[in-house]
């Protein structure tokens, strides 16, 4: 009997020990679960704070760049062969100064556009508009006065046309250029009725465009600010 009682006590003791061990394991698992949840929550909070910080930085960046110029101008020269020269991005007023060849070309275009006469009113208006694009307000008024004296509208209605042949363009000093050209005048039948030699002095300045409209008309700012033309009949 004593042997069986001893066995029962050992079983009871082992059972209690096992229950105690199971309790400790369950307790440990519970604590680990709570700890993992806490760590997970902490990680999510950290991630949320980091995301919020990045979002704030992005918003500040948008505002910062929005306050700056949203257009970065770029300027380049293209020669008659289509080759690009002197590409300049941004800081136009500090970095870009047109070369003499480009200024000379612009002056030639101004002379041609301001002196050509076409019987096509659309073409003629394009000539005048292009000439005005390179002109200061003073020069525009001078051109209008010349057109009025020549009775340009009447010449066009009578079928008179005028062709321009530029002979030379030279630089006299820092802003002054001289040009020589021949104007050939035709009647409505296409016959030459007169040829006139011209000599002109042109004062040219580089005036930076002040707004988008001016930039579209004259992006390089090469501007004729004054001129005088003399005539020699051939």
Helices (H), 68-204: 92-95, 100-115, 121-133, 137-150, 152-157
Domain that holds residue 174: 99-233
- Report the relative pairing of strands 84-89 and 74-78 from DSSP bridges: antiparallel
Average pLDDT over the chain, rounded to an integer:
80
Residue 76 within any structural domain of the chain:
no
Pairwise CA distance, residues 164 & 111, whole Å: 8
pLDDT for 178 beyond 60: yes
pLDDT for 49 beyond 50: yes
CB 222 within 8 A of CB 102: yes
149 falls in which pLDDT band (50, 70, 90)? very high
Name the percent of the chain lying above pLDDT 90.
Answer: 50
For tokens 């006299």, the residue is 172
Pairwise CA distance, residues 116 & 20, whole Å: 111
Beta sheet of 222-233, edge-to-edge order: 161-171, 176-186, 192-206, 222-233
Q: Rounded to two decimals, what is the model's pTM?
A: 0.61
How many structural domains are present in the chain?
Answer: 1
**What mean pLDDT comes out for the span 155-159?**
93
Pairwise CA distance, residues 175 & 203, whole Å: 6
pLDDT for 44 beyond 70: no
> What confidence score (pLDDT) does residue 196 get?
94
- Report the relative pairing of strands 161-171 and 84-89 from DSSP bridges: unpaired
> What confidence score (pLDDT) does residue 211 get?
85
- Residue 186 parent element (H or E): strand 176-186
Estimate the crossing angle of helix 121-133 against helix 100-115, to 10 degrees: 140
**What mean pLDDT comes out for the span 191-210?**
94
Structure tokens at 204: 């040219």
Q: Which residues contact 90 (CB under 8 A, 6 or more apart)?
A: 72, 73, 74
pLDDT for 222 beyond 80: yes
CB 112 within 8 A of CB 128: no
- Residue 74 parent element (H or E): strand 74-78
- Where is pLDDT greater, at 68 or 180? 180
Residue 126 within any structural domain of the chain:
yes
pLDDT for 139 beyond 60: yes
19 falls in which pLDDT band (50, 70, 90)? low
Alpha carbon 87 to chain centroid distance? 13
Half-sphere exposure of 23 (CA within 13 A, CB side): 6
The CATH number given to whatever domain includes residue 111 is 3.10.450.230
22 falls in which pLDDT band (50, 70, 90)? low
Structure tokens at 127: 């000539």
191 falls in which pLDDT band (50, 70, 90)? very high
Of 18-32, 44-58, 218-232, minimum mean pLDDT range: 18-32
- Where is pLDDT greater, at 37 or 139? 139
Residue 165 within any structural domain of the chain:
yes
């Amino acid at each position: 009997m004593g042997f069986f009682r001893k066995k029962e006590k050992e079983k009871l003791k082992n059972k209690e020990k096992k229950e105690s061990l199971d309790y400790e394991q369950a307790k440990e698992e519970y604590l680990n679960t709570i700890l993992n949840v806490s760590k997970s929550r902490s990680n999510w909070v950290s991630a949320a704070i980091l995301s919020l910080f990045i979002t704030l930085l992005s918003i500040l960046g948008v505002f910062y760049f929005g306050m700056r110029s949203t257009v970065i101008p770029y300027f380049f020269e293209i020669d008659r062969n289509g080759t690009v020269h002197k590409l300049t991005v941004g800081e136009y007023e500090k970095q870009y100064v047109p070369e003499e060849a480009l200024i000379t070309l612009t002056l030639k275009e101004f002379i041609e556009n301001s002196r050509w006469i076409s019987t096509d009113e659309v073409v003629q208006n394009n000539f005048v508009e292009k000439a005005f694009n390179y002109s200061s307000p003073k020069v525009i008024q001078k051109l209008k006065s010349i057109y009025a004296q020549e009775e340009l509208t009447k010449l066009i209605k009578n079928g008179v046309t005028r062709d321009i042949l530029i002979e030379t363009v030279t630089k006299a000093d820092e802003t002054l250029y001289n040009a020589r050209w021949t104007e050939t005048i035709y009647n409505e039948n296409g016959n030459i009725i007169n040829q006139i030699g011209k000599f002109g002095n042109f004062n040219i300045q580089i005036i930076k465009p002040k707004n988008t409209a001016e930039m579209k008309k004259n992006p390089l700012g090469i501007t004729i600010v004054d001129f005088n033309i003399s005539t020699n009949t051939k």
